[in-house]
Amino acid sequence: MSELFNSLTIPFLLAMFLAVNMGGSGTAPAFSAAYGANVIRRSLIPGLFGVMVLAGALLAGQEVSLTLGKGLLDQSFFTPFNTSIILFSIGITLLVSNLIGVPQSTSQSTVLAIAGAATALEGLNTRKLFYEIIPTWVILPIVAFVIMLFFSLFILPLLRRTIFNTDYAHLRHHPFLKALLIFSSLYVAFSIGANNVANAAAPIASLTANELGHQAAGNFLPIIILSVLIVAPCFAIGSSLLGHQVTETTGKEIVQVSPFTATVIALIVATLLLYASVQQGIPTSLVQLNGAAFIALSISKKGWQETFANRTVKLFFTVWCVAPAIAFALTYALVGWLV
């Protein structure tokens, strides 16, 4: 038992470190809309976020966990060393992203970190990566962008004289709209739990199954649940420590939103993410879905040129491209060099 404990200690600590960073990064897409609309106090966000993330992971996260734990790289390759390298690479890229205030895709960093290790070990499931996961990464942000742009250009103008265009100062007179916006934020956090907790939980679940032996490997679901129960609470810690800066960046530095528009953004991106999680089992970037929706809204108000000249938008695209590539390269180099 002591040998098992020793072999799992470092990977589990790294998974918890990763979850803390994911909590910081994931807070923005969950609560930036409500925070930008000034309907949720900052102090309440970490607790609400943590509870809903745990619920989403337990109720709707199984398929994504199976994809990351077995789908890209055979479960037998998740040794203590390989798992530690994968989690370390993801955690470092996300920490840097959080420190500069840009919400980064944990799913893309996780997938490419596992792919980097799998490439070095010559065990990559290329069909899963290139024919299922990457197309989903391309299609879903485009869908979020198109839906939000259509709504902003053609539907929102028709609603400008209704409650749905209420500004912040008068929002207190419309408790139903406030409740709907809060619900949408909780819904986003639930979707994050369904998709993102697996980024940390799935690798350590595969590792634990390997270390426990053949029988445990065939009974994977209880191990996944145990891993989730260990990892998910760390999201709330990360939200408390790191979440404010990225929430401020997404919620108030791209474009100002009305309460109703904020609700629409939250509902669109959460639904797309939950669909990817439950129906396809594909780890997908909610921060990119959220960013695409905010960019579409900005285009409808400011135009294409001013939107893409925005410093925050440029920074988003740069980090979104660079961070997952670094996760892949770092994992590939370390596994290939040290194994």
Q: How many CA atoms lie within 13 A of 235 on its CB side?
A: 37
What's the rounded mean pLDDT across residues 181-188? 90
Segment 6-32, tens digit of pLDDT:
778 899 999 998 888 788 777 776 787
Contact criterion met (CB below 8 Å) for 59 and 214: no
pLDDT over 70 for what percent of the chain? 83
Work out the pLDDT band at 251, boundaries 50, 70, 90: very low
Domain that residue 70 falls in: 2-338
Least confident span in 51-65, 216-230, 282-296 = 216-230
Mean pLDDT for all residues in the chain = 83
In which region does residue 303 sit, left (phi positive, over 0), alpha (psi from -120 to 50) or beta (all else)?
left
pLDDT of residue 276: 95
Least confident span in 140-149, 176-185, 328-337 = 176-185
Domain count, the chain: 1
pLDDT of residue 244: 59
pLDDT of residue 278: 92
61 Cβ neighbours under 8 A, 6+ residues apart: 193, 194, 195, 197, 198, 201, 228, 277
- Rounded CA-CA distance 56/252 in Å is 27
- Rounded CA-CA distance 203/280 in Å is 19
Q: List the end-to-end C-alpha distance of the chain, in Å, as a whole number.
A: 25
Contact criterion met (CB below 8 Å) for 102 and 316: yes
Classify residue 143 as exposed, middle or buried by CB count within 10 Å of its CB (0-12, 13-18, 19+). Answer: middle
Contact criterion met (CB below 8 Å) for 248 and 40: no
* Predicted TM-score of the model (pTM): 0.87
pLDDT of residue 301: 86
CB atoms under 10 Å from CB of 161, counted, come to 8
> Is the confidence at residue 195, as pLDDT, over 80?
yes
pLDDT of residue 123: 92
Contact criterion met (CB below 8 Å) for 290 and 271: no
* Residue with token string 């993410």: 273
> Is the confidence at residue 253, as pLDDT, over 60?
no
Per-residue three-class SS string for 194-234:
HHHHHHHHHHHHHHHHHHHCHHHHCCHHHHHHHHHHHHCHH
